[in-house]
Amino acid sequence: MSGQEYLVSINVPPLLEEAVVDCLLAIEAAEGFSSFVVNAHSTDHEGLSLAEQVAGRQKKIRFQMYLPEQQLSVLINHLRQYFSGSGIHYWVLPVLERGYI
């Protein structure tokens, strides 16, 4: 692995799944990405339906991808430009090692 690489995780509302897929494919910041359904849990109930409040969770779609350091700002700025105020939650972690076995 040359240069610092990061694992980016992005949780999005299900209604935005296709738009975020299109966004990630268009900017070509990542070699590829994974997506899967997750249940988000929070003490903040703002924006939750009554059913979600009772269940204590909200369905989200999580995207994960590896990015080199220089592509991080490209991705984050693109998401901010097109999805500002949409409730997308993201976090970035350094990758110490990765590979295939």
pTM: 0.83
The tokens describing 73, both together, are: 């700002």
Q: Whole-angstrom Cα distance, residue 20 to residue 15?
A: 10
Fold designation for 5-42+54-94:
Alpha-Beta Plaits (3.30.70)
What is the pLDDT at residue 94?
A: 97
What is the pLDDT at residue 86?
A: 92
Query: Which residue ranges of the chain lie beneath pLDDT 50?
Result: 1
Q: Whole-angstrom Cα distance, residue 1 to residue 20?
A: 27
What is the pLDDT at residue 3?
A: 80
Q: Domain ranges in the chain?
A: 5-42+54-94
